[in-house]
Amino acid sequence: MHEMSIAEGIRGVIEDAAKANSFSRVTTLRLEIGRFAGVEKHALEFAFDVVMRGSPAEGAELQIIDIPGKALCYDCAESVEIEHRLDPCPNCGGGKLLAQGGEEMRIKDMEVL
């Protein structure tokens, strides 16, 4: 379950930010996750709650923002939104797509005290 290691990485970022910016508590953390990032959101929510115990983010609300999958269709030369990597182009039905978004995962922001 790599969601646990993701949560541990988030904890490290939070702890570093708390030291650098002199805050003691995170109340809300907003995390952007692309559709193709391969992250199981429910597992990440569970891991977040477990890993954040004893940290500035203990008890913080985790808000996950879904980033759509995007691709460039070589057949119609349009940038399109797709649900799955192997989906055809929703505009022309073409199958020559180059993924251009949806793999990212980043902390968007956090509310701190």
57 known member of a binding site: no
With b for 16 or more beta-carbon neighbours within 10 A and e for fewer, the 43-81 pattern comes to: ebeebbeebbeebbbeebebebeebebbbbbeeeeeebe
Which architecture, in CATH terms, is 3-112? Answer: 2-Layer Sandwich (3.30)
2 known member of a binding site: yes
76 known member of a binding site: yes
pTM value > 0.85: yes
73 known member of a binding site: yes
Q: Where are the domains of the chain?
A: 3-112
42 known member of a binding site: no
Average pLDDT, the chain: 97
Q: Tens digits of per-residue pLDDT, 29-54?
A: 999 999 999 999 999 999 999 999 99
pLDDT at 23: 97
pLDDT at 1: 60
